[in-house]
Amino acid sequence: MDDGITLEELQLAARNHGLPLESVRDPITPAGLHYLLIHFDIPAVDPRSWRLQVGGLVERPLELSLEDLRTRSARTLPVTLECAGNGRVLMPPRSLSQPWLTEAVGTAAWTGTPLAPLLAEAGLGEAALEVVFTGLDRGIQGGVEHDYERSLALDDAMRDEVLLAYAMNGEPLPVQHGFPLRLIVPGWYGMTHVKWLRAITVVSEPFTGWQQEHAYRIHRSEDEPGVPVTRMLPRSLFAPPGIPDFFDRSRVVAAGPCMLEGRAWSGFGPIVRVEVSDDGGETWADAELEDDAPEFAWRGWTFEWNATPGEHELLCRATDAAGNGQPASVEWNLGGYCNNEPQRARVLVS
């Protein structure tokens, strides 16, 4: 972090929140602890009058009620969601936005109906190129008034695992997580999973809405077109051991064996390795991976740490099956996206 956080950033941090790090012990995050980023306001929706419009380049436009969606074939997937801006504050000079540290993540069991059969039912036009997802939330960002909207290339939208979700952890979506319906695109950063869905529109040209063209791009200046943010880079988090100091969150741990518990995830494939350092990243040792993780959810790991008296800085880092890891230092970008440098925790062993 460089300069102190501004009033505007604090306003966002007071509304939104991360996962309390001790909760990374839970394979499924309770709804109230799951990270949350709301760009504009939470819309008030009457589920009786709400409808999903499926239109654009389709042969048979659809208008679906929540009941219509609930009676279609359903699938439940545990999915890890992470904000693309996770780690933003730790990437100076800082992009002024939601000031995330490392905990903008959560894993819930999302239940919904697969998108692909619904698009097939509507009948895709031959010129179909992308699918645009529009939320009911509206506001101003970068000086432009707009509904929150994002698109996916047709191939990405048609993947089996893409859901229109109406339940989270077995309950109707909480209002702050998109009631009555949100998009779930397993493996992708959080901006993709459009909340409070009102319309799905098939288009023949690349979508150029503000949240697609201006936000969520990796570049070093506004002049560079940059590369869009898509799938989650690997990251691992652990529950800081021992007990915390209220204010600075440093930890006190008793000397002796100390079981560290954490979870790791990647949008590019299964996690195949997690390593832990207790000396600020000088040396690393392998953690033990839990056997099976669902395809799109984080994978648990443990590390039996021999806590020796003195001050330690604990870190962890993950590697996925595609060979992606967590570098000690990530190259800066303007929006503060995709900073997957390792988590650090200061621990005093006594």
The neighbouring-strand residues paired with 168 are 110, 171
Nearer to its own copies, 181 or 345 (CB): 345
Using CA atoms, how far residue 107 sits from 25, 195, 241, in Å, is: 11, 16, 21
261 is a site residue for its own copies (CB under 8 A): no
Q: Using the structure block, give the residue that is written with the tokens 């101003």.
A: 140
The pairing of beta strand 52-56 with beta strand 62-64: antiparallel
DSSP string, 159-173: STT-EEEEEETTEEP
Taking phi first (over 0 means left), then psi (-120 to 50 degrees means alpha), and beta for anything else, what does residue 19 get?
Answer: beta
Indicate whether 17 belongs to the interface with its own copies (CB under 8 A): yes
Task: Out of 27, 123, 125, 174, point to the residue binding its own copies (CB under 8 A).
Answer: 174
Closest contact distance (angstroms) between CB of 151 and its own copies is 19
Residue 126 CB, nearest approach to its own copies (Å) = 37
Q: How far apart are the first and last CA of the chain?
A: 29
How far is it, in rounded angstroms, from Cα 153 to Cα 162? 12
Smallest distance, Å, CB 235 to its own copies?
A: 16
User: Hey, is 337 helix, strand or coil?
Assistant: coil
Residue closer to its own copies by CB (options 169, 266) is 169
Residue from 60, 208, 223, 247 in contact with its own copies (CB under 8 A): 247
Closest approach, Cβ 142 to its own copies, in A, equals 8
Residues 83-102 that bind its own copies (CB under 8 A): 89, 96-97, 99-101
* Residue written as token pair 């979870």: 263
Nearer of residues 97 and 326 to its own copies, judged by Cβ? 97
Q: To which residue do tokens 């509206």 refer?
A: 138
How far is Cα 309 from Cα 243, in angstroms, rounded to an integer?
Answer: 15
Q: Which amino acid is at 52?
A: L
| Residue window 42-81: x/- pattern of binding to its own copies, with contact defined by CB under 8 A | x-x-------------------------------------
Q: Is 7 in the site for its own copies (CB under 8 A)?
A: yes
Q: Single out the residue of 127, 252, 255, 321 in contact with its own copies (rule: CB under 8 A).
A: 252
Q: Which residues of 73-100 are buried (b: 16+ CB within 10 A; e: fewer)?
A: eeeebbbbbbbbbbbbbbbeebbebbbb
Q: Residue 129 or residue 141: which is nearer to its own copies going by CB? A: 141
- For 23-104, strand residue ranges (E) read 52-56, 62-64, 75-82
Scanning 33-41, 217-225, 281-289, 330-338 for contacts with its own copies by CB under 8 A, the matching segment is 33-41
Select 10 or 127, whichever has its Cβ closest to its own copies.
10
Among 205, 208, 221, 243, binds its own copies (CB under 8 A): 243
Q: Which is nearer to its own copies, 10 or 227 (CB)?
A: 10
**Binding range to its own copies, per CB under 8 A, among 30-38, 77-85, 216-224, 296-304:** 30-38
Residues 126-145 that bind its own copies (CB under 8 A): 138-141, 145
- 213 contributes a contact to its own copies by CB under 8 A: no
Place of tokens 């950033």: 9
Exactly one of 63, 121, 245, 286 binds its own copies (CB under 8 A); that residue is 245
Residues 6 or more apart whose CB falls under 8 angstroms from that of 173 comprise 165, 166, 167, 179, 180, 181, 182
Beta bridge partners of 63: 53
The answer to whether the CB of 183 falls within 8 A of the CB of 106 is no
Question: Of 161 and 313, which CB lies nearer to its own copies in the complex structure?
Answer: 313
* Minimum distance, C-beta of residue 215 to its own copies, in the bound complex (Å): 9
Given the rule CB under 8 A, which residues bind its own copies? 1, 3-18, 20-23, 25, 30-33, 36, 38-42, 44, 89, 96-97, 99-101, 103, 138-141, 145, 174-177, 243-249, 252
